[in-house]
Structure 1
Amino acid sequence: MTISKTVAALSSSEIVLELKVLKAIVEPPVQALKARAALKDGYILQISESMGPDFRRYSYQLQKEDATIKRWDNSPHWKDLKTFPYHVHHGNEAEPRESPEVFIEDILREVKKLLSSNP
């Protein structure tokens, strides 16, 4: 996955109304992206990714107004989880839940399901 693929996935998604790239760094071999996507039904997706030859860090935060709905990330601080370092936070829960590694396509699919279940 590259930063340009993330931007392309967001730009081509039918649930993304507006995409603002706040920061993009492409200096091989390191890439970084900070972006904010306005989604259908008033949802916002905050995107933070950085990657290099031997690392990938990400955080995808879905929110509506000021309320966090979910945040997927791989910050290495929940070592007791079977999926360490990958995890997801639901709402304002302090403890995260296990999650597989995710990419922007996974997040967009999950948000699309959420939107279709809330007519």
Structure 2
Amino acid sequence: MGKVLMTISKIVSALSSSEIVLELKVLKAIVEPPVQVLKARATLKDGYLLEISESVGPDFRRYSYHLQKEDAMIKRWDNSPHWKNLKTFPYHIHKGNEAEPRESPEVFIEDVLREVKKLLSSNP
């Protein structure tokens, strides 16, 4: 699975310590070894919103990081196993209102925060 799986507390810590996160709301947190589940919403600088959904266990990881501004989706990184034609299956990214997703490597919260920082710095 690439990188070592992040625990829910590490994801919350990464969000809480990020300078682009203005407010973090944990909507659901379950830590019942060996399974952990997190659903959270982060209000970001410049009116962006990031919705986080992560479930991890000994042999699985499901995630969705949904970035939007107002009512418009900007990007969503996820690994729902429904785009089998992609080389990076099940990992993919949805951009704006494009009908088909694009290939993407597996991502973690640090990757998403790094991408959002780039987006914010390119839109002064």
What TM-score do the two structures reach when normalised by structure 1?
0.99
Specify the alignment match of 1:34 in structure 2: 39
- Equivalences for 1:1-119 in 2 at 5 Å? 1-119=6-124
Which blocks of at least 5 consecutive residues in structure 2 are unaligned? 1-5
1:59-117 Cα offsets, whole Å, 9 max, x none, are 00000000000000000000010000000000111100000000000000000000000
Q: Percent identity?
A: 89
CA distance in 2, matches of 1:47, 1:54: 20
Counterpart residue type for residue 65 of structure 1: E
1:4-37 Cα offsets, whole Å, 9 max, x none, are 1100000000000000000000000000000000
Give the SS at the match of 1:83. coil
Counterpart residue type for residue 19 of structure 2: E
Counterpart residue type for residue 41 of structure 2: R
CA distance in 1, matches of 2:7, 2:107: 14
CA distance in 2, matches of 1:64, 1:37: 12
User: In angstroms, what is the RMSD of aligned CA positions?
Assistant: 0.3
Count of aligned pairs between the two proteins: 119
Which blocks of at least 5 consecutive residues in structure 1 are unaligned? none
Counterpart residue type for residue 7 of structure 2: T
- Structure 1 stretches of 4+ moved >3 Å: none
